[in-house]
């Protein structure tokens, strides 16, 4: 690290201290100020913050590794999360969530299930799942930041020690700033990431040629589209990757066509479930209206895709071209998670290294602060205030927010020490924890008969399965693990639902009038029409489905264009950029122009 680079990083950290001090007073006013920034921020600002929160060091390491191994086909592995869930929120789910006008995802359960015994159980199950997922994401963040920091701050510490120090320092900023600190840090981070992405792309184009890239990878590595089998042959270039792709202990992606089909079906279910009960739903609930919730998710999609994958593609290309021999020397234990710090430390000019390091530290803080803030919102609002101290003055809850923020951070660090690596935590989150959430949350939107008992049973059963099955069957493949957790959650949901009474008509009718979902709601619609004869059903399922497909294609184009820009394949880059422009124009007509005003209903319903 050159003194200039260290100075840039120091200025960034001092700026964060100043921002934290400035927002602490505003955040301390009330729970809504601390956890949702008072619902006072514009949609574009929350959208950029939401997109930036998804750009973290651990995720960037993982995506870089996938792009290095699988080439342009690695683009489709984004569906593991899946990244296109933001399209569902953009098209319709963001508006449905925001109409509830509550503080957290658990509190939203009252909107759907009322206040009976089933609703209380549903409420508790969301809190449990949220806390497990928050600790899981903090564990992944801990692993990533430690590996990233080690090559830069050469103090002789272990990666875990670096992770401990950085998480504790970031925690001070997080604890006192609340949601205001989340958004402001994310805006700063977005500017730094855009600058970092442009610098990395320029370095790649200046230092490599298409011929160099082609010589370092197997044939077909730059092809996005695929057949039933993967058919990438690393045996001559990096033999260890053959074992990782095709071996019995490998990733299990050799039948790529089948795996992508499973990922797409899984992704649709996950996306239809709506935002997970972490910072995803907190950002949606922070908007000023349902219409702004839709626009916030559109801005999130833009902010989180193009700059991030320009950065990832640049790092992957530099790693493959210039660090191939180093990776080969690792043999069967090849660790692609080391590419990100190696590229930043060895291939950037003075000044640029500090800027990118500051940007990646900001990326870590962005995700870290958002995750902690969402988890503490559940503890303070949904447990402490609801069950123990419901009538305290606002600042009382903010002070407990400080305390529980510290507890959550310490738990993330403790589990981080026990984790193996970023890849192992990522696989557990996407293959075990996410499916525990899926079907109960799909049912709650689209089936009137689904009740709080069914929701609780599905969430609790799925979460327990997500924690137990990996320990009992550690060699189970990702797809099999996902299907087992999904099946257990679905069975528990349906059995508990049909064994208990439906929710009261008044609760269901109020939910239907307020949220206006489409799906299997005819009995409730008829009861609503008995009181309000002119009430029309939501007939937008087909249009929403078409817009979702258009949005997924739009998002793919937004990922592919920067990847081919870095690969210096100008024709493909131009084709995908043109596709992005065309799909943007179509979505303006089919989605944006149809958004309502003010309360977020569709224009024809206002």
For residue 596, give every residue at least 6 positions away whose Cβ sits within 8 Å of its Cβ, in sequence order, or none. Answer: 290, 291, 602, 603, 605, 606
In angstroms, the CA 32 to CA 460 distance is 28
Tokens for 1, please give them.
Answer: 């690290």
Mean pLDDT of 369-377: 70
Residue 448, pLDDT above cutoff 90: yes
List pLDDT tens digits, range 5-21. Answer: 888 878 877 776 676 66
In angstroms, the CA 380 to CA 401 distance is 6
Three-state SS annotation for 121-190: HHHHHHHHHHHHHHHHHHHHHHHHHHHHHCCCCCCCCCHHHHHHHHHHHHHHHHHHHHHHHHHHHHHHHH
Give me the residue label for tokens 């710090």. 341
In angstroms, the CA 509 to CA 529 distance is 10
Question: What letter would DSSP give residue 504?
Answer: P
List pLDDT tens digits, range 211-261. Answer: 988 888 888 888 888 877 787 887 777 777 777 777 666 666 777 777 788
List pLDDT tens digits, range 528-541. Answer: 998 888 888 888 89
Q: Please report the pLDDT score of residue 307 as a whole number.
A: 84
Among candidate residues 576, 58, 14, 105, the one with its CA nearest the CA of residue 378: 105
Residue 421, pLDDT above cutoff 60: no
Three-class SS of residue 275?
Answer: coil
* Higher-scoring residue by pLDDT: 478, 526: 526
At residue 292's C-alpha, the angle toward residues 289 and 293, to 5°, is: 85
Mean pLDDT of 458-471: 82
Backbone torsions φ then ψ of 447, nearest 5 degrees? -130, 115
In angstroms, the CA 52 to CA 370 distance is 10
Mean pLDDT of 567-589: 95
Give percent of the chain with pLDDT exceeding 70: 75
Confidence of residue 581 (pLDDT cuts 50, 70, 90): very high
Give me the residue label for tokens 């996950």. 270
Give me the residue label for tokens 């087992």. 484
Residue 153, pLDDT above cutoff 70: no
Residue 391, pLDDT above cutoff 60: yes
Mean pLDDT of 587-606: 62
Q: Please report the pLDDT score of residue 598 as a whole number.
A: 37
Among candidate residues 394, 9, 384, 16, the one with its CA nearest the CA of residue 171: 16
Residue 464, pLDDT above cutoff 80: yes
Three-state SS annotation for 23-42: HHHHHCCCHHHHHHHHHCCC
Contact, 127 vs 383, CB < 8 A? yes
Q: Please report the pLDDT score of residue 562 as a whole number.
A: 93
* Weakest-pLDDT range from 80-84, 144-148, 523-527: 144-148
Q: Please report the pLDDT score of residue 466 as a whole number.
A: 79
Tokens for 181, please give them.
Answer: 């600190």
Residue 425, pLDDT above cutoff 60: no
Give percent of the chain with pLDDT exceeding 90: 17
CATH number of 3-419+536-597: 1.20.1730
For residue 362, give every residue at least 6 positions away whose Cβ sits within 8 Å of its Cβ, in sequence order, or none. Answer: 12, 185, 188, 189, 192, 193
Contact, 19 vs 185, CB < 8 A? yes
Mean pLDDT of the chain: 77
Helices (H) and strands (E) counted in the chain, each on its own, are: 26, 0
Mean pLDDT of 479-490: 83
């Amino acid at each position: 690290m050159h003194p200039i680079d260290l100075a840039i990083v120091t200025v960034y950290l001092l700026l964060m201290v100043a921002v934290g001090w400035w927002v602490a007073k505003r955040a301390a006013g009330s729970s809504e100020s601390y956890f949702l920034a008072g619902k006072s921020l514009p949609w574009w600002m929350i959208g950029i913050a939401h997109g930036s929160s998804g750009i973290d060091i651990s995720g960037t390491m993982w995506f870089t590794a996938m792009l290095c191994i699988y080439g342009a086909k690695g683009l489709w592995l984004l569906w593991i999360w899946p990244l296109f869930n933001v399209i569902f929120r953009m098209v319709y789910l963001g508006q449905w969530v925001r109409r509830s006008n509550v503080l957290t995802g658990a509190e939203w359960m009252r909107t759907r299930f009322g206040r009976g015994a089933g609703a209380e159980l549903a409420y508790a199950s969301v809190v449990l799942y949220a806390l497990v997922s928050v600790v899981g994401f903090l564990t992944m963040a801990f692993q990533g930041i430690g590996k990233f920091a080690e090559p830069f701050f050469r103090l002789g510490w272990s990666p875990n020690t670096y992770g401990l120090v950085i998480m504790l320092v970031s925690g001070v900023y997080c604890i006192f700033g609340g949601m205001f600190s989340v958004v402001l840090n994310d805006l700063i981070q977005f500017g730094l990431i855009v600058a970092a992405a442009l610098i990395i792309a320029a370095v790649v184009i200046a230092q490599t040629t298409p011929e160099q890239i082609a010589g370092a990878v197997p044939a077909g590595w730059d092809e996005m589209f695929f057949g039933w089998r993967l058919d990438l042959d690393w045996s001559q270039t990096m033999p260890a990757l053959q074992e990782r792709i095709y071996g019995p202990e490998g990733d299990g992606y050799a039948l790529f066509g089948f795996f992508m089909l499973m990922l797409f079906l899984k992704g649709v279910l996950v996306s239809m479930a709506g935002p997970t009960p972490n910072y995803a739903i907190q950002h949606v609930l922070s908007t000023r209206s349902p219409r702004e919730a839709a626009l916030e998710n559109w801005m999130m999609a833009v902010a989180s895709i193009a700059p991030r994958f320009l950065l990832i593609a640049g790092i992957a290309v530099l790693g493959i071209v210039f660090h191939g021999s180093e990776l080969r020397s690792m043999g069967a234990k090849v660790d692609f998670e080391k590419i990100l710090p190696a590229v930043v430390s060895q291939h950037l000019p003075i000044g640029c290294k500090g800027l990118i390091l500051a940007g990646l530290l900001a990326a870590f803080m962005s995700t870290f602060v958002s995750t902690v803030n969402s988890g503490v919102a559940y503890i303070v609002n949904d447990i402490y205030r609801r069950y123990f101290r419901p009538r305290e003055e606002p600042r009382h809850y903010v002070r407990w927010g400080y305390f529980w923020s510290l507890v959550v951070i310490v738990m993330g660090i403790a589990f981080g020490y026990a984790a193996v690596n970023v890849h192992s935590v990522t696989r557990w989150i996407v293959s075990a924890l996410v499916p525990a959430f899926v079907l109960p949350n799909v049912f709650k939107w689209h089936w009137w008969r689904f009740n709080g008992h069914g929701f609780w049973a599905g969430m609790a059963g799925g979460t327990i399965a997500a924690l137990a099955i990996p320990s009992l069957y550690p060699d189970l493949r990702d797809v099999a693990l996902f299907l087992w957790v999904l099946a257990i959650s679905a069975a528990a949901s349906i059995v508990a639902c049909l064994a208990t009474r439906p929710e009261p008509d008044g609760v269901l009718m109020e939910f239907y009038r307020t949220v206006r979902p489409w799906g299997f709601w005819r009995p409730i619609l008829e009861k609503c029409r008995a009181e309000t004869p002119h009430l029309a059903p939501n007939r937008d399922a087909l249009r929403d489905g078409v817009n979702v497909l258009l949005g997924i294609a739009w998002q793919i184009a937004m990922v592919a264009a920067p990847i081919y820009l870095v690969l210096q394949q100008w024709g493909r880059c131009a084709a995908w950029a043109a596709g992005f422009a065309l799909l943007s124009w179509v979505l303006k007509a089919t989605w944006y122009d149809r958004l309502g005003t003010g309360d977020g209903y569709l224009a024809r319903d206002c």
